[in-house]
């Protein structure tokens, strides 16, 4: 067990907190810690945003990282909470399996996937991580361990999925995988000249299970809201490989923090113009790593925002309000001096009634990564009011 006091931040590098970070290697060590401390919270690999999993005493799950069982016939894996999705890929892909639901990065822990109830690019078809979760072990404040599932401690099961660590510490989880026949995806890129074309593309290709769009927030008339939608489906059997091996790629690294002035309205405008000019509509084969985890190709890319860090603002609007609501919000952002460096639009399906803490609702979500400036929180308050106004009688978080 390791124990250090240090300054900790999540992936956005804001906020930062001085905390005691303890990494137990055994369940008994963890039980002793839980019994001795009044306040603590579990933390995975720190790839979340904002103040999630931050506090005066943080329990790291990274040393609890064993794969406990893998049924290669049924596609069921059981592992400790500190196992990374990246580690599982090397085991499950060669056996012909993949995740039903995965977020846009693979270096997150299984415990974090449960606590955040992560979603991916295929929410209308597959929902969130909890849809495929069979059970998990949860250590409560008294040190007792409960096995939670849809039939056993069901209320605690659903309170923990998306509960951000407040119900206890997840020790292990068991979940169902999906069959995989190829390491390739059939990707369809649709270049949209404006916001209307973006939404039209989502509607036209709604039969494809995976979809996410990059949006240029700075594009002005006559093409506001231009972008590119990337649809995909798993490659058909005729493209299947004789041997499934997860693709290993060299990663580039951002070795130091960029100066805070690097990302500004002019540099982001130039970056967006370059991305859009290089985009082309059409089909191609893309391997799993390229389609699902493009951001993992650059290590420490969060340093591009400088030491000030960044915040991610993400919201989801009901389907009937999404088009006008998101367009109104983009107009507000274009009038603001604070501009997001990255903007992603996704579609979502229905949320199970039991999944009270899951983020998506039927509609569209927008995720915006803003450099942290002096004025960004004033803009956030304005956006909060707009989101509530554009989603009447609907709870969003």
pLDDT tops 90 at residue 12:
yes
229 to each of 187, 244, 317, 327, 345, how far by Cα in Å? 10, 28, 19, 16, 9
Q: Which of 394, 364, 348 is nearest to 131 (CA)?
A: 348
Residues 71 and 147 in one domain: yes
Neighbours of 155 (CB within 10 A): 11
Residues 95 and 125 in one domain: yes
Dist CA 237 CA 181 (whole Å): 6
253-285 per-position pLDDT tens digit: 999 999 999 999 899 999 999 999 999 999 999
Residues 53 and 134 in one domain: no
CA 10, distance to chain mean position in Å, is 13
The per-residue pLDDT for 72 is 97
Dist CA 18 CA 55 (whole Å): 8
Q: Is residue 396 part of a domain?
A: no
Q: Is residue 162 part of a domain?
A: yes
Residues 74 and 103 in one domain: yes
Percent with pLDDT over 70 in the chain: 97
pLDDT tops 60 at residue 116:
yes
pLDDT: is 220 or 137 the higher one? 137
The per-residue pLDDT for 388 is 92
The band of 3, judged by pLDDT with boundaries at 50, 70 and 90, is: confident
Q: Give the predicted TM-score (pTM) of the model.
A: 0.93
Residues 75 and 88 in one domain: yes
174-216 per-position pLDDT tens digit: 999 999 999 999 999 999 999 999 999 999 999 999 999 999 9
pLDDT tops 50 at residue 397:
no
Residue 273, helix vs strand vs coil: helix
The per-residue pLDDT for 390 is 78
Cβ pair 5, 19 in contact under 8 A: yes
Residues 228 and 366 in one domain: yes
The per-residue pLDDT for 241 is 54
Instruction: Quote the number of domains for the chain.
Output: 3
Q: Is residue 41 part of a domain?
A: yes
Identify the weakest region by mean pLDDT among 128-132, 146-150, 215-219, 283-287. Answer: 215-219
Q: Is residue 397 part of a domain?
A: no
The chain-wide mean pLDDT, for the chain, equals 94
End residue of a domain, out of 122, 152, 179 = 179
Q: Is residue 254 part of a domain?
A: yes
End residue of a domain, out of 146, 179, 212 = 179
pLDDT tops 70 at residue 346:
yes
Cβ pair 283, 188 in contact under 8 A: yes
**CATH, residue 30:** 3.30.43.10
**Phi-psi sector, 255: left (phi>0), alpha (psi -120 to 50), beta:** alpha
pLDDT tops 50 at residue 396:
no
Residues 292 and 236 in one domain: yes
pLDDT tops 80 at residue 114:
yes
Q: Is residue 217 part of a domain?
A: yes
The per-residue pLDDT for 203 is 96
295 DSSP β-pair partners: none
**CATH, residue 113:** 3.30.465.10
Cβ pair 66, 85 in contact under 8 A: no
**CATH, residue 278:** 3.40.462
pLDDT tops 80 at residue 28:
yes
Q: Is residue 395 part of a domain?
A: no
Residues 172 and 195 in one domain: no
Q: Which domain does 98 fall in, by range?
A: 67-179
Residues 28 and 134 in one domain: no
220 to each of 77, 217, 338, how far by Cα in Å? 48, 8, 16
pLDDT tops 70 at residue 126:
yes
Q: Is residue 32 part of a domain?
A: yes
Percent with pLDDT over 90 in the chain: 89
End residue of a domain, out of 60, 80, 101 = 60
Residues 210 and 170 in one domain: no
The band of 224, judged by pLDDT with boundaries at 50, 70 and 90, is: confident
Looking up tokens 């906020």 gives 15
**Phi-psi sector, 166: left (phi>0), alpha (psi -120 to 50), beta:** alpha
The band of 393, judged by pLDDT with boundaries at 50, 70 and 90, is: low
Residues 8 and 94 in one domain: no
Residues 322 and 238 in one domain: yes
CA 247, distance to chain mean position in Å, is 21
């Amino acid at each position: 067990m390791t124990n250090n006091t240090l300054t900790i931040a999540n992936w956005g590098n804001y906020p930062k907190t001085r905390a005691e970070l303890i990494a137990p290697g055994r369940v008994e060590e963890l039980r002793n810690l839980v019994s001795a401390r009044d306040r603590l919270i579990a933390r995975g690999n720190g790839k979340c945003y904002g103040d999630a999993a931050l506090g005066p005493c943080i329990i790291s799950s990274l040393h609890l990282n064993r794969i406990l069982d893998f049924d290669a016939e049924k596609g069921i894996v059981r592992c400790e909470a500190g196992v990374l999705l990246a580690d599982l890929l090397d085991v499950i892909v060669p056996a012909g399996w993949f995740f039903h639901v995965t977020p846009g990065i693979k270096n997150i822990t299984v415990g974090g996937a449960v606590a955040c109830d992560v979603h991916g690019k295929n929410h209308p078809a597959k929902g969130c991580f909890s849809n495929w979760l069979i059970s998990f072990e949860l250590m409560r404040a008294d040190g007792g361990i409960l096995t939670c599932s849809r039939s056993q401690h069901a209320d605690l099961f659903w309170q923990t999925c998306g509960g951000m660590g407040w119900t206890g510490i997840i020790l292990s989880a068991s979940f169902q995988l999906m069959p995989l026949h190829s390491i390739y995806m059939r990707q369809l890129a649709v270049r949209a000249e404006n916001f209307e074309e973006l939404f039209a593309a989502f509607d036209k290709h709604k039969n494809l299970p995976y979809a996410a769009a990059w949006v240029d927030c700075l594009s002005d008339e006559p093409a506001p809201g231009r972008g590119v939608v990337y649809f995909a489906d798993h490659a058909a059997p005729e493209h299947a490989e004789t041997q499934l091996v997860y693709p290993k790629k060299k990663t580039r690294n951002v070795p130091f923090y960029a100066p805070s002035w690097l990302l500004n309205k002019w540099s982001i405008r130039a970056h967006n113009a370059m991305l859009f000019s290089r985009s082309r509509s059409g089909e191609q084969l893309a391997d799993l790593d390229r389609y699902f985890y493009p951001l993992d190709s650059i290590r420490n890319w969060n340093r591009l925002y400088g030491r000030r860090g960044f915040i991610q603002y993400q919201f989801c609007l009901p389907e009937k309000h999404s088009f006008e609501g998101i367009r109104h919000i983009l107009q507000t952002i274009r009038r603001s001096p604070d501009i997001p460096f990255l903007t992603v639009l996704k579609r979502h399906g229905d949320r199970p009634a039991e999944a009270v803490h899951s983020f998506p609702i039927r509609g569209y979500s927008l995720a915006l990564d803003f450099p942290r400036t002096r004025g960004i929180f004033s803009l956030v308050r304005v956006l909060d009011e707009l989101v509530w106004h554009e989603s009447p009688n609907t709870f969003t978080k």
